[in-house]
A and B are shown apart, each in its own frame.
Chain A
């Protein structure tokens, strides 16, 4: 069933808001991504079966009212439960980023849940991640630094379930003190997530949910240490050299595309 260019569906509507840049990232990585409003999918549920990658992008669906991701997940469940089940049972990929992660935990695709940050505050900053899971999304990545922006990103899970996940390499990412935490003197875990979990996997690694935003790290200039790196590079090369434009985040999207090659 593998083909050259996978078809990607990015969900939108009701306050999801990262669909455009996520589409750009997938297309930039060599995919072909469509943005589809949930109501259009509800109108033509069979549409889902024509896609290879399902994306729940970041955003604020329903304003986080009644709990983040809950209302959007309810709508999806009420109208598209069977189609979703069929989709994930096929050899497809699914990703939920930030609010999308909250949605797919509410959909029951992934274990655990997301609660208010331990600080009680919404926070936008960068984090360093240790890549610990096994998944087509992750490829051979060892570490990656990405930005987060959320108020309800504290991942919680029962100890027993966690042990099981660990064994199955279902923990995708863990917050760690890497380059950027050291650069900006930040603590590793930004939200009090249990076991420092930033992302989890399901369905043999084909379904990924993650709080950090890879699409916001697709360009090198996104990184907080870009300006310093730029200066260092300039001095090394003697004159202004072309700075690499790709950021680390794009790898994730490329991995997904490569899965279908």
Chain B
């Protein structure tokens, strides 16, 4: 029986007005005069009239809503209804909750096949045509995951709508097939690239991302076994050997670097630093686990992990981003025996929001890529819902814009966790699944979502990118799971090991954990499914979300299962860990996969990579003859790369858990901070500092210095707010493009070398890292001409440190008029690929200059140590790390944040710069803008002895920012009002509110 319940607000619903406004911006032929929203619950279940009425009552808050059953609710004058619902099989979180409410109301469980489907109806009034409503529908839905239905008022009969039940109906299939591998190399290549041929559907199943060399090794392995592999065996190998899981580019030898980039330079740096630190080594768990862990205090570990979720976010920005953030939360829950997530971080690299050029994935122009604005809105909302719903503060983040992030945005998501160092007397970061333990899956059920996610992100995006690679996270299912594990089961010692189900699903998590004891056997039919009809290989590699794999000792199972049940968390035994040296999967008792653990994990052939640097043809931009520094400054402040992003910060809950110390925005003018501080343990005054650094544009000139600058900036940002040089760790996230291209590889080698040099120089170990090596798009323009877009090679460095006293932390904005302004560090003519030069170069991307900042870590380290000491003694009133946009933008931000002016002269500014504008816009690294109370002048200057440091002026009571050059000529002359307006203008443009974020008066 199919019934529909409609819920409609009885009071004015502000969302209607907002939709009306956005619809009228869609270039319609008519005009929308009003929009009303109605929620629809389609219930496919056997229910009595009374039950249905009770359910409707439960779904209605009578104070603000009314309901109707099967008939449409009374509505004003409308011409169309536009209904947006999900496609079959797409995660519908609201339906999930509704089902729980119904079950609790009618006091009986749903029988198989019974289900709820939600959709939203937009009642649209006005002079709109059907094609207008179609346009509206396209603005409301994403065709990969959602469906729409347009209903003309005149077509409605009996005040009822026809009902669509988007249930999944999968054709019954042969569960397991053999794949013949005694075939030509061409066929092997085809299998590796396009997937296993499926006779029943006459199609290939989607990319395995296995190259010929890998296919040959697999062929040989099964040849020796004298049999063909089954589909599940081949799919399993594809997952485990994927670039996403094995990081082959970082693992393989390259040129004369025999041990590969990761071992030699990243891990190599950490090993060297830890050795040098000796007793002061603060690393606890590095690279071996889902996240990296360092010492917080004698009883606690703090962890950090940063992930990317780029490819899925390009297709379904909301689903991709929410899956990313809740996914990286699981890396925290899966650290050691489980850490509690205490902070989320984000980083977005987007295309230009004004860019509306249509791009297509296919030649026939049927698969249109989403424009940057849609991607931006969806990604931001995804991280919003993921973080906010999970009760994890989103404390730290950034956004950058470049046309080359148009097709593949970069979506960085990170999570900081807190764990005791010991649990029940055992080290909490160590875990070992024991032979004989049950393999237990907790959390969500499995559907076809996310199949081939790991292999998908290991190739460039084109028309064959599978739509099912997109999953939608369910933060509440995960929150229940997280609380039950981290707050209860962990401390009761109910399991011996735990890991996250991310890329590759259980095929990767179970096989990975089986390494701890030496083997496993899985009964695949025991895995709980969302719907019938999935074949074993699909179940094995599905990336359905919110699942973790645990090893539960047999004598703990009862207690574990009872606890999970009482917390509303699904827990299922799917097999046993053993020491058989094999990874075995059975289907209804029949072995369908049996592979040696050794082959599964270590069989992947190594290949030697060769790199070769291509020289770049770049030149200096043509400098205008009459440089107006003030105008350039204001233009830079208006850009998304420098201006504030209040519109993002304010919609993320950064104060939940009550540990907020340095917030995403600071001061009366709400300048975005470059580093944030949280207090993860309320009983302690210790804090955690978080910061980031990245300079994608510098890669256009030199990736070695790009990486050096990213590291220096992340460290400087943290130090500037109070972190300690001796207690700072870093994380690397490489997002590269066309990584098999020799020249790109050469750029990678340079960047990784810089990572080693600067990490070792600064003594900041890498504790965790991740790479995403194929951020390329191959598609078509609106005329069907092929086109490709690759991102600029990007390295995100995230820093995490522990500070002993949160009350000592310092924010970037000025504090008190009369305070003296100092610049620490030297300024040189280093404007290559700077925000200023990019502004001057405009569309001519070859004229971005040639001199990127070069980091002198020896000098900078001294500066940072001196600053650290000064902050500890309390003489620093404000401290702002100088980065993109140089001193000019730093001054503007300090003024905007405080709403105070400043009188500045660069006469004494140290460095080799050759002009006033160069001095002000150079992005030389190692510099910090600080203020000091007059009375602390000599104390401060004594502390800075031997360090490039100059008093360049003072904070003023007035409302102007004046900067004079060497000759005493005013080169910046502006006021706080202008700085504030320009700094926040990008954010207000992007804000759905359409004006300055939440500000009442113009200043």
Residues of chain A whose beta carbon lies under 8 Å from any beta carbon of chain B? 12-15, 17-18, 20-21, 24-25, 37, 39-40, 43, 58-60, 62-67, 70-71, 74-75, 78, 105-106, 111-125, 147, 149, 151, 154, 156, 183-188, 190, 192, 213, 215-216, 218-219, 221-222, 224-225, 227-228, 230-232, 234-235, 240, 243
Q: Is the CB of B651 within 8 A of A117?
A: no
Q: Which B residues from 658 to 672 make CB contacts under 8 A with A?
A: 658-661, 663, 666-668, 670
Q: Tell me the nearest residue of chain A to B92, going by C-beta.
A: A65
Q: Is the CB of B668 within 8 A of A121?
A: no
Q: Is the CB of B998 within 8 A of A190?
A: yes
Distance in angstroms between the alpha carbons of A222 and B105 in the assembled complex: 41
The reply on B104 being an interface residue by CB < 8 A is yes
Distance in angstroms between the alpha carbons of A20 and B1003 in the assembled complex: 40
- List 14 additional A-B contacts (Cβ < 8 Å) besides A65-B97, A71-B97: A13-B483, A14-B476, A15-B480, A21-B682, A62-B97, A67-B61, A115-B11, A121-B651, A122-B384, A123-B651, A124-B650, A186-B1000, A221-B661, A221-B807
- 21 interchain pairs (CB within 8 A)? A15-B389, A21-B657, A37-B566, A60-B388, A66-B59, A70-B59, A70-B101, A74-B101, A78-B105, A114-B64, A115-B14, A121-B650, A124-B651, A147-B655, A149-B656, A156-B11, A185-B668, A186-B1000, A188-B1000, A218-B658, A221-B807
Q: Tell me the nearest residue of chain B to A220, going by C-beta.
A: B807
Q: Which residues of A sit under 8 angstroms from B992, Cβ to Cβ?
A: 119-121
Distance in angstroms between the alpha carbons of A111 and B874 in the assembled complex: 50
Q: Is the CB of B104 within 8 A of A63?
A: no
Q: Is the CB of B874 within 8 A of A234?
A: yes
Distance in angstroms between the alpha carbons of A230 and B657 in the assembled complex: 23
**Would you list the 6 A-B pairs with minimal beta carbon distance, nearest first?**
A17-B391, A65-B97, A21-B658, A113-B63, A187-B1000, A113-B64
Q: Chain B CB within 10 Å — which of A12, A43, A117, A119 has the most?
A: A119
Q: Tell me the nearest residue of chain B to A148, going by C-beta.
A: B655
* Chain B positions 290 through 306: 1 when the CB is less than 8 Å from some CB of chain A, otherwise 0: 00000000000000000
Q: Tell me the nearest residue of chain B to A157, going by C-beta.
A: B63
Q: Which residues of B sit under 8 angstroms from A106, Cβ to Cβ?
A: 61
The reply on B529 being an interface residue by CB < 8 A is no
The reply on B475 being an interface residue by CB < 8 A is yes
Distance in angstroms between the alpha carbons of A59 and B39 in the assembled complex: 23
The reply on B592 being an interface residue by CB < 8 A is no
Known: A17-B656, A122-B388. A66 touches B63 (CB 8 A): no
Q: Which residues of A sit under 8 angstroms from B100, Cβ to Cβ?
A: 62, 71
Q: Which residues of B sit under 8 angstroms from A20, Cβ to Cβ?
A: 657
Q: Tell me the nearest residue of chain B to A70, going by C-beta.
A: B61
Q: Which residues of A sit under 8 angstroms from B39, Cβ to Cβ?
A: 66
Q: Tell me the nearest residue of chain B to A64, going by C-beta.
A: B389
Q: What range describes how many residues of B lie at the interface?
A: 35 or more
Q: Which of A13, A24, A186, A219 contacts B999 (CB 8 A)?
A: A186
A-B interface pairs (CB < 8 A), number: 209
Q: Which residues of B sit under 8 angstroms from A190, Cβ to Cβ?
A: 998
Q: How far is the CB of A172 from chain B (nearest CB, A)?
A: 18
Q: Is the CB of A39 within 8 A of B568?
A: yes
The reply on B525 being an interface residue by CB < 8 A is no
Q: Which residues of B sit under 8 angstroms from A24, Cβ to Cβ?
A: 658, 682-683
Q: Which B residues from 545 to 592 make CB contacts under 8 A with A?
A: 566-568
Q: Is the CB of B14 within 8 A of A118?
A: yes
Distance in angstroms between the alpha carbons of A147 and B655 in the assembled complex: 8
Distance in angstroms between the alpha carbons of A151 and B668 in the assembled complex: 24
Q: Which of A71, A154, A183 contacts B668 (CB 8 A)?
A: A183
Q: Which residues of A sit under 8 angstroms from B658, Cβ to Cβ?
A: 18, 21, 24-25, 213, 215-216, 218-219, 222
Q: How far is the CB of A124 from chain B (nearest CB, A)?
A: 5
Q: Which residues of B sit under 8 angstroms from A224, Cβ to Cβ?
A: 663, 666
The reply on B983 being an interface residue by CB < 8 A is no
Known: A65-B93, A192-B14. A227 touches B815 (CB 8 A): yes
Q: Is the CB of B63 within 8 A of A227?
A: no
Q: How far is the CB of B281 from chain A (nearest CB, A)?
A: 30
Q: Tell me the nearest residue of chain A to B566, going by C-beta.
A: A39
Q: Which of A117, A219, A230 contacts B14 (CB 8 A)?
A: A117
Q: Which of B15, B64, B653, B998 contacts A122 (CB 8 A)?
A: B653
Q: Chain B CB within 10 Å — which of A13, A105, A120 has the most?
A: A120
Q: Is the CB of B810 within 8 A of A227?
A: yes
Q: Which residues of A sit under 8 angstroms from B483, Cβ to Cβ?
A: 12-13
Distance in angstroms between the alpha carbons of A227 and B877 in the assembled complex: 9
Distance in angstroms between the alpha carbons of A187 and B142 in the assembled complex: 35
Distance in angstroms between the alpha carbons of A71 and B1000 in the assembled complex: 36
Known: A65-B476, A243-B807. A156 touches B64 (CB 8 A): yes
Q: Is the CB of B668 within 8 A of A184?
A: yes
The reply on B436 being an interface residue by CB < 8 A is no
The reply on B9 being an interface residue by CB < 8 A is yes
Distance in angstroms between the alpha carbons of A91 and B658 in the assembled complex: 30
Distance in angstroms between the alpha carbons of A20 and B658 in the assembled complex: 9
Q: Which residues of A sit under 8 angstroms from B93, Cβ to Cβ?
A: 63, 65
Q: Which residues of B sit under 8 angstroms from A222, Cβ to Cβ?
A: 655, 658, 660
The reply on B850 being an interface residue by CB < 8 A is no
